Structure 1
Amino acid sequence: MVSSTPVVIYPPDEDGGRRVRADGSILGLAYSVRDVVAFLQEAGLQGWDEMDVVRSALIEWRGGGPAVWTR
């Protein structure tokens, strides 16, 4: 379950995937905002959509914001 601990989206790797971490656990490798939504829904945020991910202060984007998926 995702708590108030930030969700960290790491910089894109050489294939454009970004690791998604919440509560100290890697949730998966995202290739789009839609993937981030799916991981967060699986972690307990079922009501979240793409706009929630883009706008939320709970998300810490490293190496570029939600529009960056390449190195």
Structure 2
Amino acid sequence: MPPQRLAALVTLFERYWDDTVPLDVDDSGPAGGGVTGKAVATRWGLSRRTAQCHIQRMTHLAWRGARAGARL
């Protein structure tokens, strides 16, 4: 990934990050405080399956970005 593209993705991420609001998380979820897929789907107004697809895609993109950053 070219450095310019990575910089643009970082800028985009930071813009969206600044607009986020924290999820209300308690200790009842899996992994000692994690949020269940169903809880995320409900919060996003999506089906559980659609939310999981979005989460997998975001995780994949984050992983690729991290690997690209490691090569710079």
Do the two structures share a fold, i.e. TM-score over 0.5?
no
More strand by share: 1
TM-score by length of 1: 0.29
The structure with the larger Rg is: 2
More helix by share: 2
TM-score by length of 2: 0.29
